[in-house]
Structure 1
Amino acid sequence: MGPHYQKQRFSDSYRFCLLPPQVALCGVYHIINKSSMELSRQTKSFSGVTGTAVFTIITAIIVILLTRQFSQTSGISISPFGPDTSLAQSAPRSAVCSGLTVSSQSLNSSSGNFLTFTLTGTPPASSISYFMLAFYNLDNLFSPGNPKPVYFSGIHYHRTDCIKNNNTCTFTIKYDDLFRPDENFGSQFPMRIQVNGYFGLTDGSFSLADPKCVRSFSILPSVVFPKDHAAHPGYSNEWWYLNLLVRTVEINGSNQKDLGYLISFSRIFGTNGLLSSRFDNTTKSFAQATAGGGKLSVNLINNLLQVNYSGSVYMVLKEQTPLANGAKQFTLTGTTPQMGTLNLVLKERTVKSGGNTPLLWGCTGRISVFNPLDTLYYSMPDLDITGTITDVNKVTRKVVAGKAWFDHQWFSSLPASDWKGHYWSSFHYTTGSSVYDSGAHAAAAFVTQIFTSGPRYNYWVKRNFNGSSFCGGGGEVAINSYSPGGYPTNWLFKFDQLGLGNPQGIAFSSNQVYTVGPKSFFEPSAYFSGITNAGYTGLGFLETGIKN
């Protein structure tokens, strides 16, 4: 929708089509007038609608279709700056811009925060009829210095609502307005944004592009490291959560066994707890329990995280000095009756130059769960596991290979009355035959909240094979089958924007049900495989409290 002209073959002649809707309507009218005049004359009325009205509707539909086609599929920038500048300014448009100011070059990513833009023009002979801000994604370029438009709900995002004072208009742009997946950027959230100011004039013309009416700003992350690894006592609920899958053998190399563990250090409404579980994929046995009332200490020592739960059971997660390549590493030690004794090392497998940044959900670390933007959340995936486990039968086992996923989440909100539950999943995958084989691994996770009206607040994060990270919104889950207890046993995630096709998950068993107080939820370890031409295999978890 941004101001730009393009040549298009239409009705036996070449015409310029200006894409802003206020101007495009006039331009397209002239282009289609010849081919549509007969229809206009013959359509006297239709169900009480005049022929002129029908023609106007048809014209508007064509404008919308052309705008979407040109801006999304032509491969030509609709930004007024960059390679198309001379083309954009070759039309009879007026120089109107006097200036555009913005209250800050950064926007905090929490609900209610906003920026103020003040757009001022000096019109020529005619006066200003409306003011417009158009938004572009500086991380999504046609070419250097030439950003692509931000697309929300199928159109180039722009604003015309402002408080007018003569030839000046003031816009309020809230973070909530921009916290949406950019459909022109693989459903990733826009983080660095360029804003262009324009003017519509009473004579029907549109203003020239002008660098004086261009400003940019960045959306700041809500989560900052290393300080946000630590506790946040101002929030009612917080947990440090680990999902682990390991392949083990006895010390002499015999009796291979695949095991799954879940560990959660938590503080929920003032009560400390440690949730622990063990799943044996050979026997399909499962045990879980939550110890409560113990001491939970969370500290940053030399900027390294230490989480310690002690009481009737104990568990310690301790971050170690990063390796020379920047890889994060942790030790995980402790004992519970459900798991036995763990003595493990967790180490990042693939590290990009300069080290990896944790995956920020919502791209800023702030997402909506029960209410808009109520939860802070990040993850650290692709942690290889080594070490030993003294199993529940007192036999010491060596970890041959394993993968861990770490989550940290904090919030204070309560479930809304129409909230039914959620589906969450994380998995590691490889293009080889098994995620336990050598070679590069990647990881992805998805969460969606389910309300009585349907799914809401969908997010995903991804760590690529080379260590790069992505985040965004969208996606959905489809349940293929349920256990007799009502929980999913086979499901599909639709991750088109991730290039993963539709990952299929199959639970190892249907008995991995957790009881925490009066609530129960299902969090099975699971196989994952690529569907629709995405060839990979993986291991991970599903979590939900929703039954069929």
Structure 2
Amino acid sequence: MNARLWIPMLLLTTGQALSQGFAGLGTDAEGFAVPAPDPQFAFPADHGPHPSYRIEWWYLTATLTGADGRDYGIQWTLFRSALRPEEAEGWDAAQLWMGHAGVTTEDAHFYAERLGRGGVGQAGVTPDPFEAWIDDWAMISTAPTGADALSALELTARGADFSYDLDLRATGPLVFHGDEGYSVKSADGQASYYYSQPFYEVSGRLTLPDGPTEVTGSAWLDREWSSQPLSADQNGWDWFSLQFADGARLMGFGLRSATRPTYTSATWIGPDGSATAYPDGALRLTPLRTESVSGRDVPVEWRMELAARDIDVETVALNPQSWMGTSFPYWEGPIRFSGSHEGRGYLEMTGNE
């Protein structure tokens, strides 16, 4: 679908002023469903779309190593945004879809964007059998009967200068953030439903302008939906996923505000998948070095501290120029960290001016 037609419709989903939270995610949610405490998830249905909520995503990142010995990062994301809470068919359908795919190397960053409309087969998600797609990009379950649909996936995407075809196998359970999946995002109480599958082992093929390479590594899938996940004064976020040598994981984010301190949240994930949530203030995020990226000063090195777990690490981007110049631009790329612990992970930063 032509972006010049799609973007004005996206603006309608976010209200009249994009200043109300990053990309309008702080606008009023009147008419849409809103998350409530004590969620009762049901699978496989909740792996699929929730059209009564305004915004939703299926968001996968992976840290990979090639047979050539080089490090890589890949991203595959499908966003759903609703024009209105009522459903319709065909071109009158209320659901808009946006796909982002990216590949990062030490010296290059490639990305592509796809835009689509629900109701006409161009993009969508089915929970059983699970499949998420936009055009010829796809995330398809290959899980055996009786297993969780997200426990095994085939992932494909391509852009002008890259493509990948990856197999993912989960070695641990789904993880629920916040209070059993109810993830608070601000002191005002805005929230989302949020869970992850952070335990994928990955293998497959990555093709770049200099040719194909076989890759292996680890991946992390986030599932999240809401209708007003930000306060009106929150203007961006910094999201981290870290993978530790002993198999543990850490998710942490800071939501920046124009008028108040950054709101933080974290989830410590044990090697067995047990999750411990940490409230606002427990995680400290300190930018250490900025770099000019696409005309913006972006913090590409960070200090992360979670005293409750004796974590004090510094992160470094594989490629500081990992800019996604998409309809709503942001920074997204693989990182390494060292200090009290060492490992690899991923970083997403939005709203950086």
The answer to whether the superposition gives a TM-score over 0.5 is: yes
Alignment pair present for 1:382 and 2:190: no
The amino acid that maps onto 1:374 is A
Match of 1:426 in 2: 241
Match of 1:448 in 2: 254
Q: CA deviation at 1:407?
A: 0.5
Match of 1:520 in 2: 329
- Following TM superposition, where does structure 1 have runs of at least 4 consecutive aligned residues deviating by more than 4 angstroms? 322-327
Match of 2:78 in 1: 265
8 Å contact from structure 1 (residues 306, 319) kept in 2: no
Alignment pair present for 1:487 and 2:306: no
Whose helix fraction is larger, Structure 1's or Structure 2's?
Answer: 1
Residues 1:375 and 1:402: Cα distance change in structure 2 (over 3 Å): same
What pairs up with 1:153-302 in 2 under 5 angstroms?
220-249=38-67, 255-269=68-82, 270-281=95-106, 284-293=107-116, 295-301=122-128
Match of 1:309 in 2: 134
Alpha-carbon distance in structure 2 between the residues aligned to 1:335 and 1:322: 29
Q: CA deviation at 1:236?
A: 1.5
Alpha-carbon distance in structure 2 between the residues aligned to 1:322 and 1:505: 40
Alpha-carbon distance in structure 1 between the residues aligned to 2:41 and 2:190: 13
8 Å contact from structure 1 (residues 360, 471) kept in 2: no
Alignment pair present for 1:461 and 2:288: no
Residues 1:429 and 1:271: Cα distance change in structure 2 (over 3 Å): same
Q: What RMSD, in angstroms, separates the aligned Cα atoms of the two structures?
A: 2.7
Match of 1:344 in 2: 166
* Structure ranking higher on relative contact order (CA contacts 8 Å, 6+ apart): 2
Residues 1:326 and 1:375: Cα distance change in structure 2 (over 3 Å): closer
Q: CA deviation at 1:279?
A: 1.0
Percent identity of paired positions between Structure 1 and Structure 2? 19
How many residues are aligned here? 298
* Structure of higher CA gyration radius: 1
Alpha-carbon distance in structure 1 between the residues aligned to 2:124 and 2:71: 31
Alpha-carbon distance in structure 1 between the residues aligned to 2:326 and 2:226: 18
Question: Residue by residue, what CA displacement relative to the aligned partner does 1:248-277 show, whole Å, maximum 9, x if unpaired?
Answer: 12xxxxx33221111101112332121011
Residues 1:383 and 1:545: Cα distance change in structure 2 (over 3 Å): same
Alpha-carbon distance in structure 1 between the residues aligned to 2:195 and 2:315: 23
The amino acid that maps onto 2:276 is F
8 Å contact from structure 1 (residues 239, 264) kept in 2: yes
Secondary structure at 1:362's aligned position in 2?
coil
Give the one of 306, 314, 335 matched to 2:158: 335
Alpha-carbon distance in structure 2 between the residues aligned to 1:547 and 1:503: 22
Alpha-carbon distance in structure 2 between the residues aligned to 1:222 and 1:455: 32
Q: CA deviation at 1:545?
A: 2.3
Question: Residue by residue, what CA displacement relative to the aligned partner does 1:200-220 show, whole Å, maximum 9, x if unpaired?
Answer: xxxxxxxxxxxxxxxxxxxx3
Q: TM-score, normalised by structure 1?
A: 0.50
Give the one of 403, 410, 419 matched to 2:218: 403
Secondary structure at 1:315's aligned position in 2?
strand
Alpha-carbon distance in structure 1 between the residues aligned to 2:229 and 2:55: 10
Q: TM-score, normalised by structure 2?
A: 0.76
Secondary structure at 1:503's aligned position in 2?
strand
Alpha-carbon distance in structure 2 between the residues aligned to 1:471 and 1:545: 23
- Gap regions ≥5 residues in structure 1: 1-108, 112-174, 176-219, 250-254, 431-439
Alignment pair present for 1:540 and 2:350: no
Q: CA deviation at 1:326?
A: 11
Residues 1:319 and 1:235: Cα distance change in structure 2 (over 3 Å): farther
Q: CA deviation at 1:528?
A: 1.2
8 Å contact from structure 2 (residues 58, 224) kept in 1: yes
Q: CA deviation at 1:476?
A: 2.0
Alpha-carbon distance in structure 2 between the residues aligned to 1:264 and 1:256: 26
